[in-house]
Amino acid sequence: MPLLSSIDLHMHTYYSDGRASPQELVEYAASIGMQTIAITDHANARGSRSARPFIDQLALTLIPAIELTCRWDASQAPPGKSDIDILGYFLDLDQPDFLAFEAEILNLLT
């Protein structure tokens, strides 16, 4: 019977608000018996891209992903509380439209 912790679909590297490098993250995940992970760094997929060579060396499946923060003004949430996080999974990280979208987001954040 698989462990409940064998899948983590919301992980971050130092490319957003995590502390570990992509290599450290996948090596740790493999060391504790995870089978599938998704690196969901905020506004970029650099962690997923950087993890790919290390995933191939481990018995681990990587779901390429991203976390985007959006604002929902119509939510009637208190001021400053209308942010909504959207997680996208199974991305084609090398698809030209996605790369352009990611570059535009990162440009807006700098």
Domain boundaries, the chain: 4-109
Q: Percentage of the chain with pLDDT > 70? A: 95
Residue 56 to residues 27, 43, 53, 69, 88, Cα–Cα distance (Å): 11, 24, 5, 30, 22
From the candidate CATH numbers 3.30.230.70, 3.50.30.30, 3.90.600.10, 3.20.20.140, the one assigned to the domain spanning 4-109: 3.20.20.140
Q: How far apart are CA 9 and CA 11, in angstroms?
A: 6
On the question of pLDDT at 91 being above 60, the answer is yes
Q: How far apart are CA 62 and CA 52, in angstroms?
A: 8
Query: What predicted TM-score, i.e. pTM, was given to this entire model?
Result: 0.85
Which pLDDT does position 60 carry in this prediction?
94
On the question of pLDDT at 101 being above 70, the answer is yes
Q: How far apart are CA 88 and CA 97, in angstroms?
A: 15
Q: Percentage of the chain with pLDDT > 90? A: 73
Of the candidate ranges 35-44, 58-67, 77-86, the one whose mean pLDDT is the lowest: 77-86
